[in-house]
Each structure stands twice: as structure tokens, then as C-alpha cells.
């Protein structure tokens, strides 16, 4: 089927046909306005399939293409809170990094700022499932990036729940960080209501 036919199936087809169309469609050939409309209107199963269709780390893609998918995935997660969009967002960031795109560092910074603001808004609504998704798919994997580490420290300093999580199980988040960074996070966690630094530090270093 042509891209136009697949778009028509997504727009008007039965649920099974929408899912099938999304599983094979080339999103690079679909207009940004159509993708934004799908992000807003598709049911969760189809929206998840849409997120999985984001062509992150496609061989031969340009930096501008990668940047487009960063923004699509960011918008998708902002609107829908489906973790698949979060995974594809960071896969697209990694693609920019791997291609040594000139904009990569700046985009990491921008996404880190967005993440800190988003985390606060989600925490204000007590959406613990989304908070745990961010911990699982971002904090457990990307604290070695400077921008994400700085955002993480800021978030820990303002969120008692996360401060307690970090200080009671520091290996989950901090195992691969240099000692100075480990200690900096645990100090922030203590100030925000987590375990005392001495206790969390001993828990981390005994392993």
C-alpha cells in the first residue's frame, strides 16, 4: 500500500487495520500536522504503535531528521504519557549524539530542562505511574549525560518521594556514576527528606 493509503487506514480504518497500517508506515513520509493529530486522537494501543514507528537511529538519516523525531516523541509523551514515546525520545537523542550532530549538546540541555519541568508537573498531580516510568526509562539509563544528571539533581532536591527512592536504593540510580557525583546526589536527597547521607553512602559503597 502507498503511504497515502496507509494514512487513510489510520484515519478511517477499523482498529486492527489501524494497528497494521501503523506497524508498516514510514512516518518520514507523513506530514507533521497529521502526526500531531494522531498523537492527540488515536486510542492508546494505536498511539503506542505510532510511537514505535518513530524511525529513531535510522541509518543515513540527517541530523535535522533526528531532531524532528526528538520533537515528535517529546510532544507524544507530553500529550499522552505513554512510555514508548519516552523511549523513542531518548533513542532519537542518542542518534543525534552518535552522528555527532552540532546541535546534540544543546538538544540534550533543552530536553533536560523540559524533563525537570515535566516531572514537577506530574508530581503535582500524583501521577506515580508516570513518575516511575521516567525513573525507569530515563534516570536508570542516562545519568551519565551531564544535562540529565544536572536535571536529576534538581528534581531530587525538590521531590521527597524521589529523594527517598534514591537514598534507600542508591545502586539503582547511581552505581555507574563517579563517586563525586554519587555523593552530590545523596546530599541533595538528604536535604530533600531522604535518608541521612552517612546511611545512604554506606549502603552504596558496601557493594
Q: Which residues contact 43 (CB under 8 A, 6 or more apart)?
A: 15
Residue 157, domain member (yes or no): yes
The arithmetic mean of pLDDT across residues 95-108, rounded, is 95
Closest by Cα among 189, 150, 145 to 170: 189
Structure confidence at residue 61 (pLDDT): 86
All three cell numbers of 58, joined, read 535510522
Q: Which residues contact 74 (CB under 8 A, 6 or more apart)?
A: 85, 89, 111, 114
Structure confidence at residue 207 (pLDDT): 61
Structure confidence at residue 25 (pLDDT): 95
Residue 112, domain member (yes or no): yes
Q: Which residues contact 191 (CB under 8 A, 6 or more apart)?
A: 157, 163
pLDDT grade for 92, boundaries at 50, 70 and 90: very high
pLDDT grade for 60, boundaries at 50, 70 and 90: confident
Expressed as residue numbers, the domain containing 166 is 103-207
The predicted model scores a pTM of: 0.92
Residue 25, domain member (yes or no): no
The arithmetic mean of pLDDT across residues 23-51, rounded, is 95
Residue 54, domain member (yes or no): no
Strand positions, DSSP E, 29-154:
none
Residue 118, domain member (yes or no): yes
Residue 142, domain member (yes or no): yes
Structure confidence at residue 206 (pLDDT): 81
In the chain, the number of structural domains is 1
Amino acid at each position: 500500500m502507498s503511504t497515502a493509503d496507509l494514512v487513510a487506514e489510520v484515519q478511517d480504518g477499523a482498529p486492527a487495520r489501524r494497528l497494521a497500517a501503523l506497524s508498516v508506515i514510514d512516518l518520514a513520509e507523513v506530514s507533521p500536522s497529521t502526526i500531531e493529530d494522531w498523537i492527540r486522537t488515536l486510542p492508546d494501543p494505536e498511539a503506542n504503535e505510532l510511537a514505535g514507528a518513530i524511525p529513531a537511529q535510522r541509518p543515513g538519516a540527517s541530523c535535522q531528521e533526528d531532531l524532528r523525531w526528538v520533537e515528535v516523541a517529546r510532544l507524544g509523551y507530553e500529550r499522552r504519557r505513554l512510555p514508548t514515546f519516552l523511549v523513542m525520545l531518548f533513542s532519537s537523542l542518542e542518534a543525534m549524539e552518535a552522528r555527532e550532530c552540532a546541535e546534540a549538546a544543546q538538544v540534550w540541555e533543552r530536553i533536560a530542562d523540559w524533563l525537570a519541568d515535566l516531572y514537577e508537573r506530574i508530581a503535582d498531580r500524583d501521577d506515580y505511574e508516570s513518575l516511575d516510568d521516567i525513573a525507569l526509562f530515563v534516570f536508570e539509563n542516562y545519568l551519565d549525560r551531564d544535562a540529565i544528571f544536572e536535571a536529576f539533581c534538581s528534581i531530587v532536591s525538590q521531590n521527597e518521594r524521589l529523594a527517598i527512592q534514591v537514598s534507600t536504593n542508591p545502586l539503582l540510580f547511581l552505581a555507574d556514576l563517579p563517586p563525586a557525583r554519587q555523593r552530590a546526589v545523596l546530599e541533595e536527597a538528604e536535604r530533600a527528606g531522604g535518608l541521612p547521607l552517612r546511611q545512604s553512602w554506606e549502603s552504596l559503597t558496601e557493594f
